[in-house]
Structures are given as structure tokens and as C-alpha cells.
Homo-oligomer: A and B are copies of this chain.
Amino acid sequence: MSDGNCQSDDISSLCVKKFKKCDQNENGVKESQLQLKDFVPSKILNNNTNRKIVCALGNFRDKSGEALVILEKNAFKEEELNEKGYFSEDSELRTFFQNDIYGNYVCFPNSSINGVKTTIIYPATDKHIAKYSQQESHIIQETPQLYEKFTSTHIEKEQFNLQWVYNILEGKSEQDRVVYDNKCEKEGFVLLPDLKWDGLTKETLYLLAIVRQRGIKSLRDLDGSHLLLLKRVRDEGKKAILDKYNVAGSQLRIYLHYQPSFYHLHVHFTYLKHEAPGIYAEKSHLLDTVIDNIEMMSNYYQKATLPFTIREMDTLFNVYETNGYIKRIKQNVELIDK
């Protein structure tokens, strides 16, 4: 599903492919004929102001076909933080303001440490362009009525293929990756590393618990009858991660996505300090809060209005658009109050 980080994810996965190829062909590569001064941008497809990555679509003068230029500011390297780097005579400091012990400035360092990571894809296909395009996202406040009328119908109609999930649960695939397995059909679950995680680096720890019980599509279906299951996932999941990875339960972010990326109940476990994709308030629901809500009100998730974000490329967007709950204004969409 969509979130603010998808572009970086895409760029990274693309980079992996490229780097691998590069290892093989490095010596045969010729110098670039492409020059940034010849690039004429036509549209900014994506500007991640947090990670400082921008993607521009355009073309190169006197060349046919479209091109993508992706720029990313580099992270600071420790070896630049010395008298030859940022703290050298070349670093010009312009004062923005200064007050008491605090000062805000702009520093213009030596250009040698000012490189910007640049990726050029040329010629770029429509698929590349779609991949790097940030789509307008909007929040939908899904009432129980809207869920029944549109979301639920959409889920049934799409009949998402869950065979890969059943293969894991039935021991037919990924068995070597399983970290913990509770085989109880009603309250058991399988815990395994998420595919985004290398399985080693504590800083980016990311595991997924997939429940054995079938037919629980999402948060929306949860009620008092699932409390034991949810507590097992929380408590046994925490313990398994402490045993295997030595990360305390209080250092874990344990949560469900709404909407989820597949409609078979699963719970995410990430390291609290890790800014994993999709951990935002409009998408993630902490398991402890879910349990607390159900304990206070057994049918909380059947009564609550649940927000979710949606992009134009999501098929669910079309459902809400066709039914008049979202309208496009210029290149934007806007929710209509009904």
C-alpha cells in the first residue's frame, strides 16, 4: 500500500539492481554523454523533503524521449566533520539570526563535500515515470457505513490472492525464515522477518506476525472474540524477539496497518527507533491500543470511523471516486463532505 516512503523504497530497490550489474561491468563503462545543463525539466514527479530526494521528469536537449533525473542530498559522513571538511576556512557562514546562546546560519562549505547523488534514467519508459511519480494522497474518514458500502464490497470483489500466505502457514514455503510458530489454529500465528529487513541489523528490525485463523480481513473485523489471539501475538511475539534478537518489548513498535497491504490479519513488529515505512498515525494502529479499545468496547472497530490514506493509483480510489466521495480538481482531488 501507499505511504510517504514508497519512492525512496523504489529508488533503493532499483539501486540494488543497478549496483549488482555495475559490479560486473564496471571496467567496460564509458563516460557519460549526458550533461545536466542539457536537461529541461517538465515536471517534478516527487519531492521528499524529509529524506531530501527529488525526482524530475524532462528531456535532454537534442535527444528524443523522456528522462528522469533523481537527486538526493548525501548523509553527513564523519570524515567530513573536521578541519578539512565543514570546519575548514572554506566554510562560509551567513547569519540568519543570533540570540543569546543560540544562532541560526547558512553554511556554504567547500564544493568538494557538496556532492549530490544523481541518478539518470534515459530513456525512461511510462513504467519508470509511474514508479517515480508521487500521486496526490488524501485521507478518507471511513465510517462503518462507507466500509460496508464500498470498502468491504471492493475487498470481496477483488478477491486478493492469499495463496502465498497460506503457503507460509501450511509450511510449504519460507519455512527456513520462521522465527516463531504457534500452531494453534484459533490463536496461533507465524512470526518471520519482513522482506524489507535483512534479518541482522538491529537498527532496522522488522518482523511480521501472520495469524493462523483465516477470514479476519483487517482491523475492521476485530472484536472481543479476538482478544486472546491478539494478546498471544503481542506477548509471544515480544518474547520470541527478545530471545532471538535481544530487543526488549518496550523498544518495539507493534502495530496493524489500515488499510493493510493484504487482507489476512497480520501484525508488524519494528524497532522503535527505526523510521520504517507506513508507521504514520494515519496508517498504523498500535496493537496495545487496539486491545485496549476492544476491552473498553467489544465492537469498537465495527463502530469507529477509521481513517485511511488513498492515492489515485489505488483501485479503491476509483470506487470512492465513482461513487462521488472524491472529486478531482485540476490535478488534485478533494473529499466532498456528504
Contacts and interface: CB of A to CB of B under 8 A. Distances in A.
Interface of A: 4-5, 14-15, 17-19, 21-22, 25-26, 29-32, 34-37, 39-41, 44, 47-54, 56, 69, 71, 73-76, 78, 81-83, 86-89, 91, 93-95, 97-109, 111-112, 114-124, 134, 136-141, 201, 203-204, 248-253, 255, 272-276, 279-286, 288-289, 292-293, 296-297, 300, 303-305, 307, 309, 326, 329, 332-335
Contacts of A248: 138, 329, 332-335
B335 A250 contact: yes
Contact of A51 (B50, B100, B304): B50
A307 B289 contact: yes
Contacts of A4: 272-275
B296 A303 contact: yes
A287 to B, nearest CB: 10
A193 to B, nearest CB: 15
Nearest to A58: B87
A114 B94 CA distance: 13
Given A102-B121, A250-B326, 10 more contacts: A14-B102, A29-B97, A36-B107, A102-B120, A108-B116, A139-B250, A139-B288, A272-B309, A281-B286, A286-B307
B304 A32 contact: no
B102 A76 contact: no
The residue among A22, A98, A273, A276 with the most chain B CB atoms within 10 A of its own CB is A273
B89 A118 contact: no
Given A104-B15, A122-B101, A253-B282, A305 B334 contact: no
A178 B21 CA distance: 54
B111 A107 contact: no
A49 B203 contact: yes
A304 B294 CA distance: 11
B95 A31 contact: yes
A168 B36 CA distance: 47
A76 to B, nearest CB: 4
A15 B98 CA distance: 11
A118 B141 contact: no
Contacts of A98: 29-32
Nearest to A289: B307
Contacts of A288: 139, 141, 305, 307
